[in-house]
Amino acid sequence: MDLDLVAVREGAKSVARPRESAESFVLSIPAPALLTQVDEHTMDLYVVTPSGETVASRVHAAVLICVKTAAILGAILALGPLKEEDYMRLVKVSMKRKDHLVAINGCERSWHCFGKPAIIFHDRGKIFTSERARQVLVDRLGIITEQAPPYAPSAKGTVESLFRWMTERFEKRLPNTSYGVHDAETAAQAGGMTLEELERCFYQAIVDDYQRDFDTLRQQRRYVLWEQAVAASGVPQYLGSPDDLKLLLMKAVNRKTPHHGYRVQNGNRLSFQGRWYVCPGLLSRLRGRERRPGLRQEGRRSALHLCRRRICWRSVLSATNGEPRQRMGSQSHT
């Protein structure tokens, strides 16, 4: 019998959609990185200093994963509860090439999974629903964010299966892991590692184990699925410079350090963190806009733009300690 006819006879407000299997849903996604899922996970692992002192007894991880291929675009670790800065760091890792990350952690395989996600599916975590996340992802990068329904972990089944892999395989295969110890705290203390060692093992497990593992739902290895999907339809990428990406992930206004702003005098002199720089004819457009919201962001963009074009800034001696001549861009933009 026709479902539409049944719905009309019973007075239903809408026609019930037929249940869709996980396999058919994955196959319906047309391109990689079109739909991604992000979530955080907690691991009971002791982090110690090189001298053996305990730093943290719990490690927090965040992962951004592609739903079509189940390939990991980015992953980070943090000793404390995840903050907005950690989420921005995760987005940055997901959009950049990871050759340097693979090299410094001693991975045997390559990690070619990166790109600009079109949709990020997340839960109701504060770092995912914050105002800064909306400004950076939606307003600046043009990424669509969708919130999962409450108390429905199956809606994020791809990333939840990854966390199951982290619990069953990654944590149990760490060096110095104590088998047969039923006390979780005692076992965690016995396998204490430094943060550098833990990150090395974490990225090696992702690149050399998880990405190379066979996915039973998609019937292929995950890295092969990613390469095939990219070859078939391509993946959107961030085409700007790394410096511009850092600026896009920054806060528009830093309320904790208001004295770090820009001040313009005489139309051609600019002050940044107590040092004066001059460039006749190029700084006039900043005058009179010091107090407007977002000026600090625009000022940093202008400074980096001029630095990339190799325009030398003639430094004026500081009024306090007499700094020598230097170029704009040598200051830290953190």
Domains of the chain (ranges plus CATH)? 22-237 (3.30.420.10), 251-316 (no CATH)
pLDDT higher at 82 or 302: 82
Please, are residues 278 and 314 in contact by the beta-carbon 8 Å criterion? yes
330: confidence class by pLDDT, cuts 50, 70, 90? very low
Lowest pLDDT segment from 49-63, 105-119, 235-249, 289-303? 289-303
Give the Cα separation of 197 and 82 in Å (integer). 20
pLDDT, one tens digit per residue, over 29-77 is 999 999 999 999 998 888 888 887 888 888 999 999 999 999 999 999 9
pTM score = 0.69
- Residue 119: is it exposed, middle or buried by C-beta count within 10 angstroms (0-12/13-18/19+)? middle
Of these ranges, 60-74, 130-144, 261-275, the one predicted with the greatest mean pLDDT is 60-74
Q: How do residues 289-321 score in pLDDT, each as one tens digit?
A: 554 444 444 444 444 444 444 434 444 344 444
The Cα–Cα gap between 110 and 224 comes to 12
Q: Residues 35, 67: contact at Cβ < 8 Å? A: yes
Query: What pLDDT band is residue 241 in, cutting at 50, 70 and 90?
Result: confident
Nearest to 77 by CA among 121, 116, 42: 42
CA neighbor of 66 nearest in space, from 118, 123, 141: 118
Of 212, 176, 183, 178, nearest to 197 (Cα)? 176
- Alpha-carbon distance 45 to 184, whole Å? 9
Q: What is the mean pLDDT of the chain?
A: 76
Q: What is the pLDDT of residue 56?
A: 86
Separation CA 315–CA 331 (nearest Å)? 12
| The predicted structure's pLDDT at residue 247 | 76
Greatest mean pLDDT among 98-112, 169-183, 301-315 lies in: 98-112
Q: Which residues contact 124 (CB under 8 A, 6 or more apart)?
A: 147, 148, 150
Residue 205 near residue 108, CB atoms below 8 Å = no
**19 or 77, which is more confident?**
77
What Cα–Cα distance (Å) separates residue 241 from each residue in 135, 234, 247, 282, 304?
20, 20, 10, 22, 10
Cα(179)–Cα(182) distance, integer angstroms: 8
pLDDT band with cut points at 50, 70 and 90 for residue 15: low
Backbone angles phi, psi at 271, to 5 degrees: -110, 130
Name the token pair of 286.
Answer: 């900043």
- Report pLDDT for 61: 94
